[in-house]
Amino acid sequence: PIDPAGPLSGAVNEVWSVAAAEDGSRWAATGGGIVHWDVATETPTVYTTADGLPTNHALRIAVAPDGSVWTGDSGWVARFDSNWEVLAAPPGVDGPAMAVDSDGSLWGVGGETQLYRFDGSEWEVTEVPDLSGVGEWSPSLAAAQDGTIWAGTNMRKGLLAFDGEGWKNYTDELPNGFALNVAVAPGGAVWVGSESDARGNGPGVARLNEDGWTVFTTADGLSANHALVAVGSDGTVWAAHSADGVGGVSRFDGETWIAYPGVGGSGLGLSVDRNGMLWMPSPQGLVGFDGERTTHLVVPVTPPSTTTSAAPIEGWDPILATTRAKPVPQAATCPAGTDPNRPGSADQPRPEPGYVRNDAATFDPVRGRVVYADALGATWAFDVCTNTWSALDAGGVLAGDAWGGLVYDVDSDRLIALGLAVSVYDPTRNSWAQVTPAGDGVLDYWPVGGSVWDPVSGLVVVQHMGIVKAYDVDADVWTAVGGLHEDVGQMLGYTEELDLSLIHI
């Protein structure tokens, strides 16, 4: 049976976002739970689904002025004040961008044009007007003391500012329209970090204050022009550089930048504590740097007792050749009176398409429908007999992004969503549950490259960073079955005639 809580896994050290609290502690959103670090003693406290969270995977975290903690992911948010409280959220709320203002209201973004605010009891949404094509949100929001909400954008669409009534879009002031992340200093100065181009270069760091805009580059001391910024409550400004082999961090001294090229960590989700120390996410824990010393915080994890050894590169475990599939359920047929060739209503409710969140689908042959996780994280069904959409209003939470797609596991009659987290949909209960698989888990700071169901072994097969892995949903165990020459892309499908899974090169 699926255990929604599961054991503490190594994914707890896959850190996605860090928030520094005014009491000196750190909070981290990870692939395996929310971690609260008492840095003085380097003691972690880990919160998981066993403590009330809907999933162990979270992308963003923020600390409010009153010390409460907010976290979330696609379609859910939770607040911690001695205990976790999971709050109903609109399907479009997108956890990767989160900020709490001075009044304690939570701000988030969703879709391509929605800004959400939660005042503690109700959600309200504001549509971004047409500002020359804002494109997708970046995973960055910042709340200023004067109430202005600042938002970064992807696709080089500039910086957005919302004052509660109207919007302003800064583009001409920023080289190439960069504004991947944004931070606001205590005095009101707005700092903007830049995304990299195809070669890993960026146009630098920009600052907006009473004197207007100033752009800083390597000529001003930055370690690199690809730079993501964070500002502490004491005014300390840091930039992290982590694009395509360009590493290191830089600190602003008020006039120029001091470069520290040897420090590693991720730029997105970084934070600065009350003492001016920089904290960064990484695939192996939390990285702190104070200008002289690097601190590496890792949650001790005991490996599960049920592990499997990975097959060597080019060596293949025979697990996929073992016939273990259970009898396949009877496939659905269209009821009398339905016509699959007749189009459905043109104005029927439909899922939200787009690249923003999940956008993954698979066919459920037992019920004759396509199950679709849309761009806002909602679950839909498409009836192929009547060509109609219906919102399933599924319980539970589909964790994270289903970059690896959805796959229907025929012999267990369940759907598996694969990405940086694993979610299982039970159609008989119309509910999602998160799992923490044992063995060579797929949660490895990078999503899987597609998935197929193998009717010989009865397992879900994926390609993940050049390794082919098989997932047994009933036992909740991954097994590495063989290696490829490189990470070759998406699994396309299974051919019964050749007993092969096809992989896109």
User: In whole numbers, what is the pLDDT of the chain averaged over residues?
Assistant: 82
Residue positions counted in the chain: 505
The 10s digit of each residue's pLDDT in 107-163 is 988 766 788 899 988 999 888 776 555 555 666 899 999 999 998 887 777 888 999
With a pLDDT cut of 90, the percent of the chain lying above it is: 35
Whole-number pLDDT of residue 19: 95
Distance CA 194, CA 190 (A): 13
pLDDT band with cut points at 50, 70 and 90 for residue 197: low
| CA–CA separation, 401 and 302 (whole Å) | 27
Q: What is the tens place of the pLDDT at every residue in 224-237?
A: 888 899 999 999 99
Pairing type for strands 459-464 and 467-472 reads antiparallel
Given this model, what pLDDT does residue 499 score?
A: 54
Concatenated DSSP letters for 319-344?
A: GGGS--PPPPPPPP-PPTT--TTS--
The owner of tokens 């970046």 is 138
Q: What is the DSSP string of 69-98?
A: EEEEETTEEEEESSSEEEE---TT-EEEEE
Tell me the average pLDDT across 333-352.
Answer: 88
Q: Phi then psi for 19, rounded to 5 degrees? A: -130, 130
As given in the structure block, the two tokens for residue 357 are 């969140």
Instruction: Compute the distance between CA of residue 35 and CA of residue 37 in angstroms, rounded to an integer.
Output: 6
Q: Which residue has the tokens 């109700």?
A: 122
Is the distance from CB of 246 to CB of 211 less than 8 angstroms? no
Q: Are 420 and 57 in contact (CB under 8 A)?
A: yes
**Listed range (223-237, 238-252, 270-284, 408-422) with the worst mean pLDDT:** 238-252
Burial of 379 (0-12, 13-18, 19+ CB in 10 A): buried
Query: If DSSP codes are grouped into helix, strand and coil, which group holds residue 190?
Result: strand
For residue 216, pLDDT beyond 50 = yes
Q: What are the distances in angstroms from CA 438 to CA 398, 406, 443, 477?
A: 20, 20, 11, 5
- Angle made by CA atoms 51, 55, 60, in degrees to the nearest 5: 100
365-414 pLDDT per residue, tens? 899 999 998 867 789 999 999 999 999 999 888 876 777 788 999 888 99
Rounded to two decimals, what is the model's pTM? 0.74
Q: Which pLDDT belongs to residue 300?
A: 86
CA dihedral (54, 55, 58, 63) positive or negative: positive
Which pLDDT band holds residue 468 (cuts at 50, 70, 90)?
Answer: confident
pLDDT exceeds cutoff 60 at 443: no
Half-sphere exposure of 97 (CA within 13 A, CB side): 33
Average pLDDT over residues 235-257: 84
Task: Give residue 420's region: left, alpha or beta (phi > 0; psi -120 to 50).
Answer: alpha
